[in-house]
Amino acid sequence: QQQVKQSPQSLIVQKGGISIINCAYENTAFDYFPWYQQFPGKGPALLIAIRPDVSEKKEGRFTISFNKSAKQFSLHIMDSQPGDSATYFCAASIRTGANNLFFGTGTRLTVIP
């Protein structure tokens, strides 16, 4: 059973456009929601993360929007660049205890020049 559902599976965006990736979860105990970025041949790396006490977090061109009541969160990439082409994973965890991350299925983003 997938604890975090992610869509779309793949996304093609023109350079300068906005990329939007969505995730949804069921477990209301989750209290940490990171996004990881993975380039071909590399391991995933933390991109940005949010906790449920805020509705939005922005770092440069990357923004997480969080809707606690809907149990959804999304990644927005503004002014998308070819260098942003990668696979993006959302994830969720409970910060107490083992704090294991549950990952979404991934979105392959291609930004066309």
Contacts with other proteins, residue ranges (CB under 8 A): 2, 6, 9, 31-32, 34, 36, 41-46, 49, 51, 89, 93, 95, 98-106
Q: How far is the CB of 14 from other proteins (least distance, A)?
A: 25
Q: In this structure, which amino acid lies at residue 111?
A: V
- Specify the residue, 2 or 14, whose C-beta has the smaller distance to other proteins: 2
Instruction: Work out how close the CB of 104 gets to other proteins at its nearest, in angstroms, rounded to a whole number.
Output: 6
Least separation in angstroms between residue 11's CB and other proteins is 15
The nearer residue to other proteins, 60 or 113, going by C-beta atoms, is 60
3-state secondary structure of 82: helix
Positions of E strands within the chain: 4-7, 10-14, 19-25, 33-38, 45-50, 56-59, 62-67, 72-77, 86-92, 102-103, 107-112
